[in-house]
Amino acid sequence: KHIGMSGIRTVISHKRDEILNVLPEDVINKAFAADEELIIAKEAQIFIKQNIDGAMHDASEGGIFAALWDMAEAGKVGLDIDFKKIPVRQEIIEICEIFDVNPYELESCGALLMTADNGHDIIKILSDAGIKASVIGRTTADHNKILRNDDEVRYLDTPNRDEVYRFI
């Protein structure tokens, strides 16, 4: 699913009036995820039932960047990630911009990373179950954690403190 959903709920809960000074109510409503969107049990059950040879990691604390880092470290692998393939709602980005928050370092309950020999197999299985998912990259044999944004290449840093803590 999308990143930043649970974190943006916290931001909205604490800063709604400030957000409304900049953005209309419908943007807030679109950004505020429904409770069921924050649950990953269905996705995890599908992964387990399909007996996929791979791994899973939720993207809650620290956001997607922390989850990618943790997963690579646990698997002793590198990463090659296409930054633009990481699903994030435009409304979340717009709210994050108001407070100079990095949505990729924002609590992301509801987002689940999965690995497998062929990520497109997972996408097909999840799609058949009505769950939107994306292949955002691949693991590599080296230990580099690469984030690609078109022609720009940068390396994932050790995780920062979750951006949500600025609001609680």
The three state secondary structure string of 110-128 is: CCEEEEECCHHHHHHHHHH
Q: What is the pTM of this model?
A: 0.93
pLDDT in tens, 66-113: 999 999 999 999 999 999 999 999 999 999 999 999 999 999 999 999
Structure tokens at 72: 């690579």
Per-residue confidence (pLDDT) for residue 113, from 0 to 100: 95
pLDDT in tens, 55-68: 999 999 999 999 99
Q: Is 62 left (phi over 0), alpha (psi -120 to 50) or beta?
A: left
Amino acid at 117: D
